[in-house]
Structures are given as C-alpha cells and as structure tokens.
Amino acid sequence: MKTITTVQQMQHWSDAARARGQRIGFVPTMGYLHAGHVSLVDEARKRADVTVASIFVNPLQFGVNEDLARYPRDIDRDTQLLRQARTDVLFLPDVKEMYPEGFQTTVTVDRITRGLCGLSRPTHFQGVTTVVAKLFNMVKPHVAVFGQKDFQQLVAIRRMVNDLNFDIEIIGAPIVREADGLAMSSRNAYLSAPERHAALCLSQGLRAATELVGRGETDALRILGAARRIITDEPLARLDYAALVDPDTLEDVTTVRSPVLLALAVHIGKTRLIDNRILSRESTVESREQGKSGIRNGTLNSRL
C-alpha cells in the first residue's frame, strides 16, 4: 500500500491509473477504523481495479462544542488494517493541505440537510459535502462507497453528485454491527463500560419498532413511541431525535406504506450516537440483508 499526503501526488497517481484504463474505487473516512470501514473497502475493491481510502479528520464538519480535539486517532493501526484489506493507496492529507490559507469555498446541499442531524448540527453537512467534493476532485474515483450508518450523509452526497454532475457512482453499504447489535462507530471508543451497555438502547429501539411493523402496525407515532420508550427508559441515554422518514427525501412520514427509514440520534453520557434501519411492511429486514435485497442494489442506490 502506498501512502500519499499531497493533493498533487494524489491527482497524479489517479491520472496515471485512469490512463492505464483502471477503475478507481474510493472510501473516505476519518480514521480510527473498524470492521464497518473495512467492509466499505471490500465493497470498493469488488467494484474497481484499484482502491483508495482516505483518512482526514475534517475540522469543517465539527461544531464549536463538538469532539474535534479528542476525536480518536491511531494511524499505525489504521495503516495495518487498510493494508490487510488490500487497499492500494492511503490518502492522508493534513489540514493545511486540505484548507490552505485563503480557502473560502463551500458546497451546501439545502433541504435534506436541514432535518434529523442537521437540527442539532447545523454546520455539519456543509462541512461533509465540502470535504467530499474536494476529495472527489483529488482522488478522481469512478465509484465511491459510503456507509448507510450515516444515512443522511449518504443521501446528501447522492444529491450533491446528482446536482453538481460529478461523474461518480455512489454506493451505500450496510451497517456493520457488534455481536450484540451496537452499530460500529469510531465514537464507541468514548463509552465507559456502563455507557457501552446503555448504548444498546439504540439497536433495541430499532428492533422494537421493526417488530411492531412486522405485526402490521403502520402508524408512525406508535412505531416511534415503541423506539422512544426503550431509549427514555435507559437512565444514561438522552434522546436527540427519533424520526420516521422517507429514505429518499428524508421527509417525515405519518403512515408506513413503502419502506421507511427509522433514524435515531441519542446522547449516551457525552457521546452522541446515531443508528437507523429501513422498515417495510413486506419485510422487516436487517440492514445487513438490505445489501442482498433490492433495497441496496435497486431502490436506495438508484433513486435521487
């Protein structure tokens, strides 16, 4: 695996790969990697001839009171994991390389970034779409893979790619979970032992709602009530939001007719965690299964 730290070298490498006729797959990350990130690299490798993963903790997507300074980092371990996953290039720019003096251009995706996480993190998605647009111009991928774990981010990036005519295929990959159901996240490293246990209320809330829909419930308030109850019953948890939305527009739904997204954000102590699941009347599939069903390869990946 080659490590590249400058924009110029990255663009040069990608131009050469393209000139050889190679298809470039790309996985952007903020590092402190886990099996969820590795699954994205695996997915990119299936869809491309060469794979680039980036690690960049992007200051632009952190709010003033958020965890930028203490965001976990372990570049040696990350390098080892990416090498094991047979990544071809690790792109590792620093903040000065990404945002040199005088930087003042941003990319904003409007409506779909206002709700859900946008309510408590009003500048977050602008930071994400700006850095991803820049990374796309640096890595020049044919295909880029993002996790459904950050569902609103995935929808915003699809929107940006469509609206700004980036010639890049966007793939959404299923959420990878710990054995007990907790969605993997670099931020899980912040959790104390009691908090780690309390954090199970997210996946348990999703499961309760899934079961309700499986029994034929279609009323959004009742479905949300089932998920909220499990979270509010957990003393270490504080609900940010629980929402049932259309997976394409992210607008609230009141009745479950076709697949809907149940999205959660919950503070466990000082750590804010998110999780989500697609619910449908026909099949209340695990998100791991979403990859095998039409949802990933059909509807969710081709809409927008």
Using CB under 6 A, list all residues that contact ligand AMP.
Answer: 29-30, 36-37, 39-40, 146-147, 149-150, 173, 175-176, 183-186
How far apart, in Å, are the Cα atoms of 34 and each of 48, 82, 132, 150? Answer: 21, 10, 20, 15
Nearer to ligand AMP, 175 or 227 (CB): 175
Structure tokens of 42?
């695996």
Tell me how far, at minimum, the Cβ of 15 lies from ligand AMP, in Å.
25
Tell me how far, at minimum, the Cβ of 21 lies from ligand AMP, in Å.
27
CA distance 159 to 108: 10
Chain position whose Cβ is nearest to ligand AMP: 147
Nearer to ligand AMP, 160 or 226 (CB): 160
Residue from 265, 120, 69, 283 nearest 183 by CA = 265
Residue 210 phi, psi dihedral angles, 5° rounding: -60, -45
Catalytic residue of the set 12, 37, 124, 142? 37
- The answer to whether the CB of 93 falls within 8 A of the CB of 7 is yes
Nearer to ligand AMP, 220 or 296 (CB): 296
Tell me how far, at minimum, the Cβ of 33 lies from ligand AMP, in Å.
7
Tell me how far, at minimum, the Cβ of 276 lies from ligand AMP, in Å.
11
Active site residue 37: yes
Residue from 82, 95, 163 nearest 127 by CA = 95
Nearer to ligand AMP, 202 or 208 (CB): 202
Task: Name the β-bridge partners of 27.
Answer: 53
Nearer to ligand AMP, 73 or 267 (CB): 73
80: number of Cβ within 10 Å: 13
Nearer to ligand AMP, 78 or 226 (CB): 78
Tell me how far, at minimum, the Cβ of 218 lies from ligand AMP, in Å.
28
Tell me how far, at minimum, the Cβ of 139 lies from ligand AMP, in Å.
14
Q: Which residues are catalytic?
A: 37
